[in-house]
Amino acid sequence: MPLTVNGQPTPIPDPPTLERLLAVLRPPLPCAVARNEEFVPASVYAKCELTDSDRIEIVYPSAGG
């Protein structure tokens, strides 16, 4: 099973790090990331190794009340 990004199956990048995944996906806005429902600080993206069971969520600024 490939990893999922916001629910969508997504190939694991090479090298398999969160930093590389974001470089491939190129988020259009400032974003933050959770892996398996745990926040991942930007400072550790390069060290965060991904596996095929990971569920990645990327969130963006949005209107809110």
Q: Which residues bind other proteins (CB under 8 A)?
A: 6-7, 28-34, 37-39, 41-42, 57-65
Q: How far is the CB of 18 from other proteins (least distance, A)?
A: 13
14 vs 62, which CB is nearer to other proteins? Answer: 62
Q: How far is the CB of 6 from other proteins (least distance, A)?
A: 5
Q: Which residue has the tokens 């963006």?
A: 60
Q: How far is the CB of 5 from other proteins (least distance, A)?
A: 9
Q: Name all contacts of 20-24 with Cβ < 8 Å and 24+ positions apart.
A: 21/50, 21/56, 22/58
* Angstrom distance (rounded) from CA 12 to CA 17: 8
